[in-house]
């Protein structure tokens, strides 16, 4: 029978392990001590790394997660952690092309196909390389929309904002914040010209609304390499980069990978 253990959250990790910041909220990240490298959360395999404190699981928490006790399985041990409430602000936007808010029936096959492509990329778990989370901002510019905003588009409620928007003029270079493989590119209905980078251990980053894509599927890119240019393709109000981060198939706040000591 599984043992149930109330885990101790980690507040200290080795400075040589550039772990993301922990914020145990919907859309956040939990860092927990585990006894095994075989860890799952909500049916998804979880990235586990070694620190001076032993093994640490780096768990992405979905924006849809309920508050309260959550469980991870680590071998024959069941660990619990508490997700606390976070209230995200509401944002009202007007989209000129209403078809991007209310797609036509003939758009739905394309939308479903593109979602399936992205889902496949988010579900990938590669262990053949060391994941580097020492992220840099992919583009210079002010943040125009923060992560988690409850979005009202043309007066209609839509899914929460699952990334960070960085405002920049069209054609501004976009750089890889960390090394990884290009697993998907394309012109998507909502996201416009898009790139997905797989950084290993279920950590995937997304770059949307580009005017130009400068990499190809299967290409290995290094940190700081040019991958595209800022644009205004897809569902937008103006030129910007939508930067998303997915961890164990949960969209999490990209800011948690920045500004670490």
pLDDT tens for residues 47-90? Answer: 999 998 899 999 999 999 999 999 999 989 999 999 999 999 99
Q: What is the pTM of this model?
A: 0.90
> What confidence category does residue 132 fall into, taking pLDDT thresholds of 50, 70 and 90?
confident
Residue 63's Cβ-count burial label (10 Å; 0-12, 13-18, 19+) is buried
Task: Verify that 217 and 116 share a domain, yes or no.
Answer: yes
Same domain, 203 and 122: yes
Given 60, 83, 106, the domain boundary residue is 83
Among 34, 62, 83, the domain-final residue is: 83
* pLDDT interval class at 3 (50, 70, 90): very low
Which structure tokens are listed for 69?
Answer: 């006790």
In this prediction, residue 8 carries a pLDDT of 42
Mark whether 237 and 162 lie in a shared domain: yes
pLDDT digits (tens, 9 = 90+) for 192-214: 999 999 999 999 999 999 999 99
Task: Indicate whether 74 and 97 sit together in one domain.
Answer: no
Let me know: does 22 contact 58? Beta carbons within 8 Å. no
Q: Are residues 75 and 139 in the same domain?
A: no
Query: Tokens 């130009």 map to which residue?
Result: 212
Q: Are residues 75 and 128 in the same domain?
A: no
pLDDT digits (tens, 9 = 90+) for 217-233: 999 999 999 999 999 99
Domain count, the chain: 2
DSSP 8-state assignment for residue 214: -
Any idea which residue has 């699981």 for tokens?
A: 57
Neighbours of 163 (CB within 10 A): 24
Confidence band (pLDDT; 50, 70, 90) for 5? very low
H-helix or E-strand spanning residue 208: strand 203-213
- At 210 the three-state DSSP class reads strand
Coil vs helix vs strand at 113? helix
8 A C-beta contact, residue 231 and residue 154: no
CB proximity list for 83: less than 8 A, separation 6 or greater:
24, 25, 26, 28, 30, 61, 65, 66, 67, 68, 69, 70
79 and 96 share a domain?
A: no
Mean pLDDT (whole number) for 146-167: 93
Q: List the structure tokens of 123.
A: 């579900």
DSSP state of 42: T
Pick 6 or 197 by higher pLDDT.
Answer: 197
Q: Give Cβ neighbours of residue 7 (< 8 Å, ≥ 6 apart).
A: 32, 33, 34, 79, 80, 81
Average pLDDT over residues 231-248: 97
Q: Tell me how far apart the alpha carbons of residues 194 and 179 are, in angstroms, rounded to a whole number.
A: 17
Residue 75 lies in domain: 3-83
Q: Give bridge partners of residue 29 from the DSSP assignment.
A: 23, 60
Single residue among 34, 66, 83 that ends a domain in this structure: 83
């Amino acid at each position: 029978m599984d043992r149930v253990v109330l885990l101790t959250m980690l507040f200290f990790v080795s400075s040589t392990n550039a772990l993301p910041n922990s914020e145990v909220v919907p859309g956040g990240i939990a860092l927990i001590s585990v006894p095994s490298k075989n860890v799952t959360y909500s049916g998804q395999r979880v990235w586990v790394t070694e620190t001076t404190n032993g093994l640490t699981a780096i768990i992405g928490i979905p924006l849809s997660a309920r508050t309260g006790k959550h469980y991870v399985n680590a071998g024959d041990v069941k660990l619990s952690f508490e997700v606390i409430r976070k209230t995200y602000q509401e944002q009202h936007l007007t989209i000129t092309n209403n078809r991007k808010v209310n797609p036509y029936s003939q758009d739905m096959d394309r939308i479903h196909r593109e979602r399936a492509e992205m889902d496949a990329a988010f579900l990938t778990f590669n262990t053949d390389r060391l994941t580097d989370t020492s992220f840099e901002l992919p583009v210079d510019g002010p943040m125009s929309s923060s992560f988690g905003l409850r979005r009202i588009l043309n007066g209609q409620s839509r899914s929460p904002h699952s990334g960070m928007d960085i405002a920049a003029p069209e054609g501004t270079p976009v750089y890889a914040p960390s090394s990884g493989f290009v697993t998907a590119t394309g012109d998507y209905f909502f996201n416009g010209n898009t790139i997905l980078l797989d950084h290993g251990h279920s950590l995937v980053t997304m770059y949307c609304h580009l005017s130009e894509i400068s990499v190809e599927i299967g290409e290995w890119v290094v940190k700081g390499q040019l991958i595209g240019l800022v644009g205004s393709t897809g569902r937008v109000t103006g030129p910007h980069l939508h930067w998303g981060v997915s961890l164990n198939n949960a969209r999490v706040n990209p800011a948690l990978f920045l500004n670490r000591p």
